[in-house]
């Protein structure tokens, strides 16, 4: 079945009476009682048995995990308390001191931070690559302890789309486990497991839940044995998904394809108009023909996504001024919700990067990031025009 259909018919177990509720039940119990000690002991053996304790599994959370695995075409999933919970959980579960990680240079700031921390405190080496050429991975992987490749489908905030088919095929040949953060594309625009990724991670805080009302994350695995290997470590880490956040995410998923369509359509119109605006010096959106990732974006994405960034003429001060002048769009740090948000990355999400690191990540000092919502595009354009002065 098509993804739109699968998104509506989310996982749903029958009740003991036999009928199925149309909405997945929200189960808040933190622990589950048993009649026999042996049954309780058996239930503790793995991730898929009877529910025991909330950190090890919960019916609402499991329904979300099954739904995400279904949408990403994976063998199974683990839901987390946040996107960073998912990223940290996967890295901590799979890495050992002395390992080498190959990371795309333009990654979410939090991912950069956790990789830096692992490098400084646990002797893990992080090699950065542009993500545009599989030969960079092949060169980095001459080190025998090269364990992980980490990429983002659409990088934040430059809109870079790495060469997923080339890099994921090379990772597979080299025996390097590949992790792709698919938060900005969502499974509607790209399913990295279909291109050969081993693990997809999500901040479900973003498009998947879609309404700026929860924090959540997930890891979806191509191979169930890998999910079973990672699961015990995530139980220890304790960054488990909250059942109510899981329920709200399940509530958002049926409309994900419709929302993505509007996000993509609005962002494309705004990107094109900004390109022609005299007070704008550069616009970054993967489906603008001049974008460096245009060709690969056309190949791997079913739409350009809802994120765009641009540089107002006047550098850092102009960028800061723009985010304070918008009236309909809000100045707020997240993305992927139904409402349009703007930020100035150089002073917020990427403030820990110095000038050289910002330049290396492709972030101009005046860059404005816009998470384009599903409002009417003419209202958004009127707001942008007045804010540009």
List active site positions: 55, 108, 181, 206
DSSP characters for 286-327?
TTSTTSTTHHHHHHH-SS--SEEEEEETTHHHHHHHHHHH-S
Q: Which candidate, 197, 187, 188, places its Cα nearest to that of 163?
A: 197
DSSP string, 162-185: --HHHHHHHHHHHT-EEEEE-TTT
Contacts of 123 (CB under 8 A, 6+ apart): 97, 98
Instruction: Give me the least distance between CB of 103 and ligand PLP, in Å please.
Output: 13
Part in contact with ligand PLP (CB under 6 A); list of ranges 126-134, 178-186, 275-283, 370-378: 178-186
Using alpha carbons, list the distances in angstroms from residue 237 to 56, 80, 85, 86, 212: 11, 10, 9, 10, 25
The C-alpha R_g of the chain, in whole angstroms, comes to 21
Out of 178, 186, 205, 340, which residue is the one contacting ligand PLP (CB under 6 A)?
205
Q: 96 by DSSP, 3-state: which?
A: coil
Closer residue to ligand PLP in complex, CB, 54/157: 157
Least gap, CB of 279 to ligand PLP (angstroms): 27
CB-wise, 146 or 204, nearer to ligand PLP?
A: 204
Partnered with residue 138 across adjacent β-strands are none
Shortest spacing between CB 371 and ligand PLP, in angstroms = 10
CB 366 within 8 A of CB 318: yes
Considering only 12, 48, 66, 110, the residue that binds ligand PLP (CB under 6 A) is 110
Q: Which is nearer to ligand PLP, 227 or 369 (CB)?
A: 369
- Quote the crossing angle between the two packed helices 377-388 and 315-325, to the nearest 10°: 130
203 makes contact with ligand PLP (CB under 6 A): yes
Q: How far is the CB of 203 from ligand PLP (least distance, A)?
A: 3
Residues 157, 309 contacting (CB under 8 angstroms): yes
The answer to the question of residue 82 lying near ligand PLP (CB under 6 A) is yes
Inter-axis angle of helices 109-122 and 83-94, nearest 10: 30
- Contact between 219 and 80 under an 8 Å Cβ cutoff? The reply is yes
The whole-angstrom separation of Cα 259 and Cα 265 is: 10
Beta carbon nearer to ligand PLP, 152 or 262:
152
H/E run at residue 179? strand 177-181
The correct pick among 146, 160, 183, 268 for binding ligand PLP (CB under 6 A) is 183
Q: In whole angstroms, how close is the CB of 263 to ligand PLP at the nearest point?
A: 14
Cβ atoms of residues 67 and 253 within 8 Å = yes
Q: Give me the torsion for CA of 313, 330, 247, 42, rounded to 10°.
A: 50
Question: b/e for 235-264, b at 16 or more Cβ within 10 A?
Answer: bebebbbbbebbbbbbbbbbbbbebbebbb
User: Binders of ligand PLP among 260-289, rule CB under 6 A?
Assistant: none
> How many residues contact ligand PLP, by CB under 6 A?
14
Of residues 108, 231, 247, 310, which one binds ligand PLP by CB under 6 A?
108
Comparing CB distances to ligand PLP, the nearer of 174 and 332 is 332
Out of 54, 57, 76, 83, point to the residue binding ligand PLP (CB under 6 A): 83
Q: Are 36 and 219 in contact (CB under 8 A)?
A: no
Site membership for ligand PLP, residue 242 (CB under 6 A): no
Q: Which residue is nearest to ligand PLP (CB)?
A: 83
The verdict on 215 binding ligand PLP (CB under 6 A) reads yes
Question: Which residue of 65, 72, 181, 383 would you call a contact of ligand PLP, by CB under 6 A?
Answer: 181
Q: Is 217 in the site for ligand PLP (CB under 6 A)?
A: yes
Which of 74, 318 has the CB closer to ligand PLP?
A: 74
* Least Cβ distance, residue 61 to ligand PLP (angstroms): 16
Residue among 84 and 280 whose Cβ is closer to ligand PLP:
84
CB of 314 to ligand PLP, least distance (A): 26
Q: Does 309 bind ligand PLP (CB under 6 A)?
A: no
Least spacing, CB of residue 349 vs ligand PLP, in Å? 7
Residues in touch with ligand PLP (CB under 6 A): 82-84, 108, 110, 152, 156, 181, 183-184, 203, 205, 215, 217
């Amino acid at each position: 079945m098509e993804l739109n259909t699968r998104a509506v018919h989310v996982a749903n177990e029958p009740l003991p009476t036999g009928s199925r509720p149309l909405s997945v039940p929200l189960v808040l119990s933190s622990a589950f009682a048993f009649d026999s000690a042996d049954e309780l002991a058996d239930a503790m053996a793995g991730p898929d048995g009877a529910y025991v304790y909330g950190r090890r599994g919960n019916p609402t959370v499991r329904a979300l995990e099954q739904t995400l695995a279904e949408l990403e075409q994976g063998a199974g999933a683990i839901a987390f308390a946040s996107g960073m919970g998912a990223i940290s959980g996967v890295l901590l579960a799979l890495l050992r001191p002395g390992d080498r990680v190959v990371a795309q240079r333009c990654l979410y700031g939090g991912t950069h931070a956790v990789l830096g921390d692992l490098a400084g405190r646990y002797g893990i080496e992080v090699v950065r690559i542009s993500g545009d050429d599989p030969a960079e991975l092949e060169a980095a992987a001459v080190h025998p302890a090269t364990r992980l490749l980490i990429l983002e489908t659409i990088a934040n905030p430059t809109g870079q789309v790495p060469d997923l088919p080339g890099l994921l095929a090379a990772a597979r040949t080299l025996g390097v486990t590949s992790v792709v953060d698919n938060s900005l594309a969502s499974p509607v625009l790209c399913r990295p497991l279909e291109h050969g990724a081993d693990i997809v991670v999500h901040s479900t805080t973003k498009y998947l839940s879609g309404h700026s009302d929860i924090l959540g994350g997930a890891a979806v695995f191509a191979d169930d044995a890998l999910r079973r290997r990672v699961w015990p470590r995530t139980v220890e880490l304790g960054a488990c998904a909250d059942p109510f956040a899981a329920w709200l995410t399940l509530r958002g998923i049926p409309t994900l394809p419709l929302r993505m369509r509007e996000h993509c359509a609005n962002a494309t119109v705004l990107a094109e108009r900004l390109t022609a605006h005299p007070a704008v010096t550069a616009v970054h959106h993967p489906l603008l023909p001049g974008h460096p990732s245009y060709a690969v974006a056309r190949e791997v994405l079913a739409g350009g996504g809802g994120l765009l960034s641009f540089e107002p003429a006047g550098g850092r001060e102009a960028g800061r001024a723009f985010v304070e002048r918008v009236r309909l769009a809000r100045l707020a740090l997240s993305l992927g919700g139904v409402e349009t948000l703007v930020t100035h990355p150089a002073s917020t999400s990427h403030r820990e990067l110095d000038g050289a690191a910002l330049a290396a990540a492709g972030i101009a000092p005046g860059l404005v990031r816009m998470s384009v919502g599903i409002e009417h595009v003419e209202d958004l354009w009127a707001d942008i025009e007045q804010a540009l002065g």
